[in-house]
Structure 1
Amino acid sequence: MKFNALIIILIGFAFMVSCKEEPVIPKPKAKMRLEYPQGKLADLETENFSFKYNQLAKAELNGDKAYTISYPEMKGAIFLSYKKIDGNLSKLITDSKRLSYEHATKADNIVEQPYVNPDEKIYGALFEVQGNAASQSQFYVTDSTEHFLTGSVYFYTKPNYDSILPAASYLQNDIRGIIETLRWKK
């Protein structure tokens, strides 16, 4: 009889243990898939240059030769600043590069991508800043004799590279479009 009672207790214990729910395994953090529409191109004409920009953005003159291309949906903007070259080209390039590399303390990496279009006399570089820096992209372009244009991307939020990466990549593509369609005026 003792043996039958022991078997019943073991079978009952086995049922109790086997009927428990599966252990809860924490799920990995979800990442939103952000997709932005490809906008049509609009023209921005100034007295010194022209280019095409994403029509989903809003372009405005901020002051004397300073422009903002705002992306309200992304809470970000591309800031542009134009300067005439007056024997100060090397200083303008140095200042532009210094501004890009000031983000090195917060950045994981800065990738410099040169841009050369001799047919349109456009020379410059795009700086892709990777990491939790204030600006994710910066660039400068020049014709090396008269015109110098700089630009930078900023978001109206605390930098969190993982969160803003889709928007930063989208704006970097728009910057490439601006550089590729840029034309200097005589």
Structure 2
Amino acid sequence: MPTIPTSEPTLIDAGNTAKWLKSLPEYPASAGWVLSYELVNAAQRIAFSSTPSTDDHLVNVSAATTGSWVPGSYDWRALATLGAEIYTVGKGRIEIAPAFGAAVDARSQARRTLQAIEATLEGRASSATAEYQIAGRALKYIPIPELLMLRDRFRRDVKAQDDAAAVAAGLGARGRIFVRFGS
């Protein structure tokens, strides 16, 4: 049986059980205090409560419940409640990660931008139009030399990310050849 953490996590994977045991000596569960949590971001509000575990508060959110949570960053607060008394006993930030295997775009911002720039360049390769005007409204495209500079910048960013991932996986950075000369 895994050890139950005693503090709030900073990351919860959607579709996994979220469990921790919170000790609040000033607000013991045995005296009737209930610990509840609110997670809020611009798109969603998530609320759940603990159950008593002697004096402590056991938070145990099922995998089925977290599986419905929308991935993203949330601000959270913990509330201790007894009747009409409510006290904030904790605050923080938590990340809800997508469930493994969920259909999400896991590309980095740099990789998405690079691919968008390359698609734009490919589409513009067959068009000589730099700007046009219809009914008094004008549209002007980013000049191709500027797109090429942006593409090169994002290529470097993506390569740096790929190199960092390769080093983290123990593979070493691509494109580097190390030579040692000895006698």
Task: Report the TM-score, using the length of structure 1 for normalisation.
Answer: 0.20
Larger relative strand fraction? 1
Higher relative contact order (CA 8 A, sep 6+): 1
Q: TM-score, normalised by structure 2?
A: 0.20
Larger Rg: 1
